[in-house]
Structure 1
Amino acid sequence: MKRTLLLLLMAGACQLANAQTYAEKLGFPKGKKVIIFHVDDAGMSYDSNVGTRKSLNEGVATSTSVMMPCGWVPEFMALYKQNPKWDVGVHLTLTSEWKTYRWQPLSGKDKAPTLYDPEGSLWHEVAQVVQHSSADDVEKEIREQVARFRQFGIEPSHIDSHMGTLFTPKFVERYVKVGIEEKIPVMFPCGHNTLISSSLKGQGQGQLIAAAQEVGKKLWASGLPVLDDLFADTGWNLPAGQEPTDENLRAFKTKKFIEILDKAQPGVTMIIVHSTDPTPVFSHFSGSGNSRKGDMLAMMDPELKSYMEKNGIVLSTFKELKERRKGVR
């Protein structure tokens, strides 16, 4: 999963070490680490749905978002109706990255022709979307995916971006525009951004950081909540030589998540996971099954929950952030 553009856009956006965090602005106690463990890719497959359900109901995961163009969306939305307390948003999807398992835009080729690759699906890679797709067509697709979510009779808790496509300069304005107009929280961090900055490894920030500062201010001024930090690169694989047993996957991933939580600074931080309970079918289109299963097992690991409790880490959701934002001028 390519995150470079996402990181360049958002990292270091509001490097104000002594400033009030967005968590404090939202009424959380000063100095608290407020974490959203967010499960990406619900609705992509049966396996993804099972992993998401287990992580939300049996683990520390607090939020998820749905890939509305994918075939297993109806099943997941039925699960959501059975679990109405879940925090569920729209995982705005502009790519179809797998080689043999593909999905198409919801807008239709007559309305948004630049979203389609030669096979009639969404483009495989973020760079291809940026090269071929118009901002107007992307905005149409964003609105169609939000509209389809609402057709199930449920309001999305937030919107975010699959593979970071909408964080590129060409599209970010449309992404923010739709969130503000529809009054849906937009996943976009503009706080101390400690974890994102640590991923840059000296890469330049420049105008992209300044642009991110302005986006964050715009979101907050519109009445929407803003995150302080984000960590997205959780696709760690087991060290060479380790067998991918459930115990090894669980222990390895739990250790890695605890390391990230140690590095996180006070504020609202979203940590992205891809919890999946892979069946044999999953391996036919993706080689990421073991890593994704490790995410699910870690989310359900009592050791991770115990660590968070002992260290006073607060779990939250976009629903809670939105409610808290209503009471802040």
Structure 2
Amino acid sequence: MQTKLIGVLILLFSWLTFPVVSQTYAEKLGFPKGAKVIIFHVDDTGMSYEANEGTIMSMEEGLSTSCSIMMPCSWVPDYFDYLKDHPQVDAGVHLTLTSEWKGYRWGPVAGKPTTPSLVDPSGYLWPSVREVVQHGNPEELYTEIKAQVDKFIGMGFQPTHLDSHMGTLFASEAFLKKYLQLGMEYQIPVMFPGGHATWIQQESNASNLNVEQLQAIGKMLWEAGLPVLDDLHTDSYSWKIDPAIEGDDDRIQAYKTEKFIETIRMLQPGVTQIITHATNSTPHFERISPSGSLRKGDMLAMMDPKLREFVEAEGVILTTWRELMERRRKVK
């Protein structure tokens, strides 16, 4: 969903024009020329117990290197208990402005009286990105995303990065400005494909102008002292599970692993974040979302020795947002 919104959004940024640069951000950060550098990222941590389990398992036993936490959700304290014993885990804020599931919902961290334009008649965050764009006041939106970051910090940790649940912060120029503003003000890296953006072009059908604007925003973030992604892959949520293999973990794992291998083969050099939704899905999780098999497939793929062997054979470098920021601080 994020990628489809980017193509529409970037056309609005006529106030940013810079020439295209040939050097990747991976090279600027000191990685070898021509290297594929990947963050395997887990979204939706804190949404449920199963999401927390999937995050932990895919990071401890698999290839996942980073995650981001949905601060309005009920299972956030559970994951922060884990972080207390694992403080070096790469964990950011999954800035959340929608509450999309029918029977399990959440409201704004800042509270309804402070952010009335962000909630539906029931007092929960709007169910869809479209409704957030239709009703949301950008200043109230900034209040909410800042409150989510402050809550994270108040729980005793520094976020390694910021990103956007369901791509909502990429859905309008005004929202994106607030997202970038927050990252630059707090000096926290933000997920943004500001390099060659090869994959994101394919996902969003972006034009050359769009790519130039993506790179312009990337240049702005870099000059503000933040690391920048060369590319972003968000397509794994569209890899639906064939009903014929539902319930067969081995076949689901094999399918998802092959999809990730195909993706890595097609990536261009540079730093790319690959988004997953690794979840140790259970029948209980199916009461929250019908996406349990898809999400469990991501977890199983991250833990698949075949994927690890492929990554090692290809010379892929795995990294984290923490490492990117540490490298950025050393660049003059």
TM-score normalised by length of structure 2 = 0.94
Which residue of the partner structure matches residue 59 of structure 2? 56
Q: CA deviation at 1:205?
A: 6.4
Shift of residue 10, structure 1, vs aligned partner: 6.3
List aligned pairs for 1:57-76, cutoff 5 A. Answer: 57-76=60-79
State the distance in 1 between where 2:9 and 2:254 align.
33
Write the letter of the residue equivalent to 2:81. A
Q: Which whole-Å deviations, capped at 9, do the CAs of 1:256-313 have from their partners, x for residues lacking one?
A: 0000000011100000000001121111121100000000000000100000100100
Alignment partner of 1:36 is 2:39:
yes
Matches of 1:272 and 1:7 in 2, distance apart?
18
Find the aligned partners of 1:318 and 1:14 in 2 and give their Cα distance: 25
Q: Any idea what SS the aligned residue of 1:308 has?
A: helix
1:151-176 per-residue CA deviation (whole Å, 9 max, x = no partner) reads 11110000000000111222000111
Residue matched to 1:170: 174
Is 1:219 the equivalent of 2:194? Answer: no
1:6 matches 2:6: yes
**Aligned letter for 2:103?**
T
Deviates more, 1:157-166 or 1:234-243: 234-243
Q: What's the C-alpha RMSD, in Å, of the aligned pairs?
A: 1.9
Superposition deviation, residue 81 in structure 1? 1.5
Residue range with higher mean Cα deviation, 187-196 or 237-246: 237-246
**Whole-angstrom distance in 2 between the partners of 1:142 and 1:287:** 27
Q: Give 2:88's aligned residue.
A: 85
Q: How many residues align?
A: 325
1:149 alignment partner in structure 2: 152
Tell me the residue number matched to 1:233.
Answer: 235
The separation in 1 between residues aligned to 2:177 and 2:263, in whole angstroms, is 30
Return 188-197 or 239-248, whichever deviates more: 239-248
Mapped contact 2:245–2:252 kept (Cα < 8 A): no
Amino acid at match of 1:228: D
The DSSP-based 3-state class of the residue aligned with 2:215 is: helix
Name the residue aligned to 2:131. Answer: 128
Deviation at 1:239, TM superposition (A): 3.3
AA partner of residue 304 (structure 2): D
The alignment status of 1:318 with 2:321, answered yes or no, reads: yes
1:210 shift after superposition: 4.6
Contact 1:37 1:272 in 2 (8 A): yes
> Which structure 1 residue ranges, 5 or more long, are not aligned?
none
Q: CA 1:10–1:317 in 2, change beyond 3 Å: closer, same or farther?
A: farther
1:85 shift after superposition: 1.9
Q: Verify the 8 A CA contact 1:90 1:149 in the aligned structure 2.
A: yes
The one-letter code of the counterpart of 1:327 is K
- Note the C-alpha offset of 1:114: 0.5
Contact in 2 for aligned 1:38/1:61 (Cα 8 Å): yes
Amino acid at match of 1:135: P
Q: Which residue matches 2:22?
A: 19
Deviation for aligned residue 1:137? 0.5
> Offset of 1:7 from its aligned partner?
4.7
> Alpha-carbon deviation of 1:212?
2.8
In 2: Cα distance, 1:67 partner to 1:6 partner: 21
| TM-score normalised over the length of structure 1 | 0.94
Conservation of the 8 A alpha-carbon contact between 1:14 and 1:191: no
Deviation string for 1:23-60 (max 9, x for gaps)?
00000000000000000000000010000000010000
Q: Identity, % of aligned pairs?
A: 51
Determine if contact 2:35/2:269 at 8 Å carries over to the other structure: yes
